[in-house]
Amino acid sequence: MRLAQRVSRIGESATLRVSRRASQLRAEGVDVLDLGVGEPDFDSPRVVVEAARAALSDGMTRYTPVPGIQPLRQALAARYQSAYSAPWGAGDVVVTVGAKAALFELALALFDIGDEVVIPSPSWVSFPEQLRFAGAEPVDVPTDPDDGFRIRAEPVIKAFTDRTRAVIINSPCNPTGGVIGAGDLELLTAACAERGIALIADETYERFVYEGEHASAAALAGRYPETVILVGSFSKTYAMTGWRIGYVFGPPPVIRAVSNIQSHATSNPTSFAQSGALTALAEAEPDVERMIATYRQRRDVLIPKLNELPGISCRPPAGAFYTFPDVSGALCGDMSDSLAFAEKLLEEAAVAVVPGIAFGAEGHVRISFACSTEELERAIERVDRFLSGVPCAP
């Protein structure tokens, strides 16, 4: 069967490849410690589960309006209004099948073949693939590990050309945990506004900030209403990955286009999952705060231990639940890059991490601390033992 050319422009996500092999080993009875996962290890909050169960029992089993149920759109608008003084109302948001669908629909809505989209890198695996799928070209602008992978406005602005249509800012960042400061975000948004470039802020990890305050693009939407597009998700904040609820706020023409695309793609996000999301916004804050405190504790345990390992170094991530250590000091012989490192670590020590190359950064791996402190400690012991068997590790 001949496949469409656009399929050849995208590849399988390397994050999925590692997790597939980890599952395979687990099925064979191997006790794999999985630090490769990108999802919370917590259950969804009880109140949220109960709300969805009640919605199902009450017959909420039909199509909903394409952009989502009105109470959820209203509650989202109210949340961004009170948290960031955003000017948005219920009509300025589309609820989507996860943030991933929001970003995909945005790519289809905004870009033509040959358009350029600037992305600070390392970046989440799906940004470049979604853009290529839409015919656009991702343009990477590296962030600096020694600067904690902070996103700085100046190098991003320098990468603008006549073909630049958008910038994607993912703060806090998957995979690095790097963030953007309020000053840089403002400079960048102003520069985008001046040139008619869209600023897409993927704030999926908004609530996981360990140093300072989260700088949200929502706070700039009042001043730059034509420029700011914000994508958010219930997946990580509320431990609701399987529910598939995300959303996008933006200028009216963008919201109309996204809604139109959604009407022909998924119709609407799942009805009773939207009920759960509505309850999450209203009642799950204590659960969220408990989860954030736990991630912070794990980060504080993990980072010093990682830095004690031979050939490995990292700075504490400012946000998200990932760290992106430099492992280049441990690479040698037949383990000469991040993919070989991750594969060997999985096969020989039964610890799964994601090779940095999946995110466009060689010499690093992504480690997730969305697992228990006990698992993290056992994994560190295994990595230590593994590294002491690697002949050229210092």
Cα 227 from Cα 217, distance rounded (Å): 10
Q: What is the phi/psi pair of residue 244, to 5°? A: 60, 60
x-or-dash string of contact with ligand PLP, 190-219, rule CB under 6 A? ------------x-x---------------
The minimum distance between CB 240 and ligand PLP, in angstroms, equals 8
Query: Which of these segments, 221-229, 233-241, 281-289, 360-368, binds ligand PLP (CB under 6 A)?
Result: 233-241
- Interface pick for ligand PLP out of 143, 171, 174, 368 (rule CB under 6 A): 174
User: Beta 322-323 vs 365-368: how paired, if at all?
Assistant: antiparallel
x-or-dash string of contact with ligand PLP, 320-359, rule CB under 6 A? ----------------------------------------
The minimum distance between CB 273 and ligand PLP, in angstroms, equals 12
The answer to whether 98 contacts ligand PLP (rule: CB under 6 A) is yes
User: Beta 137-142 vs 164-170: how paired, if at all?
Assistant: unpaired
Tell me the CA distances in angstroms from 127 to 133, 134, 240, 337, one per residue in order: 10, 11, 21, 23
- Which is nearer to ligand PLP, 72 or 331 (by Cβ)? 72
Cα 347 from Cα 341, distance rounded (Å): 10
Cis peptide before 172 (omega within 30 of 0): yes
x-or-dash string of contact with ligand PLP, 123-162, rule CB under 6 A? -x--------------------------------------
User: Beta 198-202 vs 164-170: how paired, if at all?
Assistant: parallel
Query: Which of these segments, 55-63, 98-106, 147-155, 299-307, binds ligand PLP (CB under 6 A)?
Result: 98-106
- Interface pick for ligand PLP out of 235, 271, 274, 294 (rule CB under 6 A): 235
- Which is nearer to ligand PLP, 175 or 363 (by Cβ)? 175
The label of the residue with tokens 């790519």 reads: 107
The minimum distance between CB 100 and ligand PLP, in angstroms, equals 3
Residues in the chain: 394
Q: What is the phi/psi pair of residue 107, to 5°? A: -60, -40
67: helix, strand or coil? coil
- Which is nearer to ligand PLP, 98 or 355 (by Cβ)? 98
Cα 219 from Cα 209, distance rounded (Å): 17
The answer to whether 259 contacts ligand PLP (rule: CB under 6 A) is no
Cα 382 from Cα 273, distance rounded (Å): 39
- Which is nearer to ligand PLP, 216 or 235 (by Cβ)? 235
What's the token pair of residue 326? 């430099």
Of 20, 27, 48, which Cα lies nearest the Cα of 242? 48
The answer to whether 99 contacts ligand PLP (rule: CB under 6 A) is yes
**Total residues at interface with ligand PLP (CB under 6 A):** 13
- Which is nearer to ligand PLP, 227 or 235 (by Cβ)? 235
The minimum distance between CB 248 and ligand PLP, in angstroms, equals 11
The minimum distance between CB 64 and ligand PLP, in angstroms, equals 18
Cα 9 from Cα 183, distance rounded (Å): 36
The minimum distance between CB 231 and ligand PLP, in angstroms, equals 7
What distance lies between CA 306 and its chain's CA centroid?
23
Cα 141 from Cα 153, distance rounded (Å): 10
The minimum distance between CB 149 and ligand PLP, in angstroms, equals 13
- Interface pick for ligand PLP out of 100, 152, 165, 366 (rule CB under 6 A): 100
Burial of 155 (C-beta count, 10 Å sphere; 0-12/13-18/19+)? middle
Query: Where is 55: in which H helix or E strand?
Result: helix 46-57
Do residues 41 and 370 lie in contact, with contact meaning Cβ atoms separated by under 8 Å? Answer: yes
The answer to whether 38 contacts ligand PLP (rule: CB under 6 A) is yes
The answer to whether 44 contacts ligand PLP (rule: CB under 6 A) is no
The answer to whether 298 contacts ligand PLP (rule: CB under 6 A) is no
- Which is nearer to ligand PLP, 165 or 244 (by Cβ)? 244
Q: Binding residues for ligand PLP, per CB under 6 A?
A: 38, 98-100, 124, 170, 174, 202, 204, 233, 235, 241, 246
